[in-house]
Chain A
C-alpha cells in the first residue's frame, strides 16, 4: 500500500491514468526505463485505476462556443466599451429592422435604427482592398457623385447645398428627417486625396486609400464620424457637442483641436498624433474595460493590432501631418513604411527585391506633387538601390 500511495499522491500518475497526454506518457516511459523493476506494478496499477473512470456529461463544441460568446457579450455589455457590432450578431439581432444594401465599389452594407440614429451602428462590411476607382461622394439617398480629381474638395456649406471642387453645387434632397440619419461617405482611393468641410465647419483632410462616414448634419448630442484610413482633423470647438472619431480599434474624443489619425485596415499599427489641445482615446474592441488614454500635444499614440499593445511617445508632429500638403517627411523611418506611403499616394505597387531592405533607415523629405518617377528615383537613391518599372503601376526596388 505504501507503494500505491506514492503513486496515487502523485498528480502526474493520476493524470497518466485519467487524462494522459504526450508529455505525461513520455514522463512515465522514461521513469520506467530508470526503474524497470516497477514497470509491471505501474502498468497494473494504472489499468486497475483506469476502471474507476467516472462518467460525465460533456458540453458539445457548439454549446461551448455559444456559451463563450454569451459570456463575452455580457462582459462587453457590462463594460459598455464595445459599440461597433459584428456583422454576424447584427444579422441575427436586427434582421427585422430596416436594412439598406448599397453597392459602391466593393460594396458596403449598413443599417440604421430609426429611433436612435447613431454612427456607431454602421456595419463596416468590407475590407478596403479595392480602392483604385475614382474619389466618390455617397449621399444619403444612395446617389454617387464622382469627384473626378485627384485632389478634391467637398464642402457642406448649408443644409441644402454641398459645394464640390469649389465650383459645382449639389442640392441636398431632404425627404423628411429620416434622410438626415443616413450618413454620407467620402471614398478616397489610392492616388487621390480630398479635403472635406463638415456641417459644423470642422475640416478633414483625407489621405489616399481612406473612407470617412459622417452625417450631413450633426443632430445628436455628439458629432460622430467613422474613419478607415488616414485623415487630419481640424475640429471646430463646440464644448456642448464633443467630436468623436471612431476607428476599428479605438475612438478619439475631442472638443476642439487638431490631430492626425492613421488607421488603415491593412496596417499592423494604427497611430494618432496630436498637434494642438488634448484628446482622449478609448480602445474599443480589444478590451472589456475602458482603456482610456489622454494624449498631449506632440505625442504619438500607437496601437498594435496584433497584441493590443499601446505606446505613447514624443514626436515631431509635422512629420505626420505634412502629407496633407503633399509632402512626406521622415526621420529614421523604415524603407518599408516609406514605400507604403508612396504606393498609396500614387496608386502604384512597389516590391522590394530583398525583403530585408524594408528595414533600411530613411531620412528625408519627399514632395509628392512631383511625378512618381522623380519620387522613386529619389527614394532609391537614398536607399542606395535602383528602381525598375516591371509593369503598369508595378515597380521593383533592388
Chain B
C-alpha cells in the first residue's frame, strides 16, 4: 500500500512544504496556492459548524493573517492541512462564541457540527423512501463529534492521529467511530446489496462481533 495520497503530488508533504517556505518568503503565488488548495474544504468544514456563511468567510480571512503572523514561529509544518484545519477551527469557534451563536444547551462540551447526506436517488428503486429515511435517521443520530470525525475522515485525507487532535478525542476512538458508522450504514443497505450481488445476509450482531475482534 502506498503512503498517504502519494499518487497525488499535491497531497504529499514535500509539495506543501515547498509552497509553505515560499509563502513565508512573501510569495503571493504561494499564498494563492495554499488558498486555492484549501478554501473549498475550509468553507465546507466551516459551514457545518455555523450557518452564518459570512462568519466562515471572515474566519478564513483571519486564518491567513494568523498564518502569516506565525511565519517566524512556525518552521515547516509536517502536515500543512492539519495545521491549517486546527488553526481554522480555533479561529472559527472563537468567532462563533463571540457572536453567541453557539448555544450551549447541546449534549456536550463539543461544538456544533451538523450536516446531512446527499442521495443519488437512482440507487433506490423500490424501497427508495424507506432506505432514505433510515439513512437520514442514522445520520441524524450521530452526535456532532462523530459527524465531524466522519467528515474529516472522508474529505480531508488526514490521519486518525490528526483527526483525533482536531476533534479533541483519542485517535483510537476516532477510528472506532468511523468503523461503527460505516458498519451500521452498510447494515441499512444490506438487503438491497444482497439483491444486487447475491450475497448472503449477515446479522448486524455478527458484524459488530467481528468488529470487536
| In-complex Cβ contact of B189 among A48, A57, A308 (8 A) | A48
The reply on A371 being an interface residue by CB < 8 A is no
User: Which parts of A31-53 form the interface with B (CB within 8 Å)?
Assistant: 40, 44, 47-53
Secondary structure class of chain B's binding surface, majority of residues: helix
- Give min CB distance, B125 to chain A, whole Å: 14
A11 touches B5 (CB 8 A): yes
A54 touches B151 (CB 8 A): yes
- Give min CB distance, B167 to chain A, whole Å: 15
Complex CA–CA separation, A17 to B186 (angstroms): 15
User: Which parts of A245-294 form the interface with B (CB within 8 Å)?
Assistant: 286-289, 291
Contact with B along A51-85 (1 / 0, CB 8 A): 11111111100011001101110110011000000
Given contacts A11-B5, A287-B26, A291-B26, is CB(A59)–CB(B43) below 8 Å? yes
The reply on A221 being an interface residue by CB < 8 A is no
The reply on A24 being an interface residue by CB < 8 A is yes
User: Could you say which residues of chain B place their CB within 8 Å of the CB of A9?
Assistant: 175
B8 touches A51 (CB 8 A): no
B44 touches A2 (CB 8 A): no
B179 touches A15 (CB 8 A): no
User: Could you say which residues of chain A place their CB within 8 Å of the CB of B35?
Assistant: 68, 71
Closest residue on chain B to residue A8 by CB atoms: B182
Residues of A within 8 A of B (CB): 1-2, 4-5, 8-12, 14-15, 17-19, 21, 23-24, 26-27, 40, 44, 47-59, 63-64, 67-68, 70-72, 74-75, 78-79, 286-289, 291, 308
- Give min CB distance, B147 to chain A, whole Å: 8
Closest residue on chain A to residue B68 by CB atoms: A75
| In-complex Cβ contact of B154 among A4, A48, A54 (8 A) | A54
Complex CA–CA separation, A58 to B65 (angstroms): 22
- Give min CB distance, A210 to chain B, whole Å: 27
Complex CA–CA separation, A23 to B26 (angstroms): 31
Complex CA–CA separation, A14 to B39 (angstroms): 20
A55 touches B5 (CB 8 A): no
B135 touches A1 (CB 8 A): no
Query: A8-B182, A15-B8, A74-B61 given. 7 additional CB < 8 A pairs?
Result: A11-B5, A47-B123, A52-B182, A54-B116, A54-B117, A58-B40, A64-B39
B179 touches A8 (CB 8 A): yes
A1 touches B207 (CB 8 A): yes
User: Could you say which residues of chain B place their CB within 8 Å of the CB of A27?
Assistant: 2, 7
User: Could you say which residues of chain B place their CB within 8 Å of the CB of A40?
Assistant: 197
Closest residue on chain B to residue A79 by CB atoms: B26
Closest residue on chain A to residue B124 by CB atoms: A51
- Give min CB distance, A118 to chain B, whole Å: 23
User: Could you say which residues of chain B place their CB within 8 Å of the CB of A5?
Assistant: 179
Given contacts A67-B61, A74-B61, A74-B65, is CB(A51)–CB(B178) below 8 Å? no
User: Could you say which residues of chain B place their CB within 8 Å of the CB of A289?
Assistant: 25-26
User: Which parts of B18-52 form the interface with A (CB within 8 Å)?
Assistant: 25-28, 31-32, 35-36, 39-40, 43-44, 47-48
- Give min CB distance, A51 to chain B, whole Å: 6
Given contacts A14-B157, A15-B157, is CB(A24)–CB(B7) below 8 Å? yes
- Give min CB distance, B173 to chain A, whole Å: 15
Of B7, B35, B119, B151, which is in contact with the most chain A CB atoms at under 10 Å from its CB?
B7
B157 touches A72 (CB 8 A): no
Closest residue on chain B to residue A74 by CB atoms: B65
| In-complex Cβ contact of A56 among B44, B60, B68, B119 (8 A) | B44
User: Could you say which residues of chain A place their CB within 8 Å of the CB of B36?
Assistant: 68
3 smallest A-B Cβ distances: which pairs? A287-B26, A56-B44, A55-B118
The reply on B64 being an interface residue by CB < 8 A is yes
A58 touches B44 (CB 8 A): yes
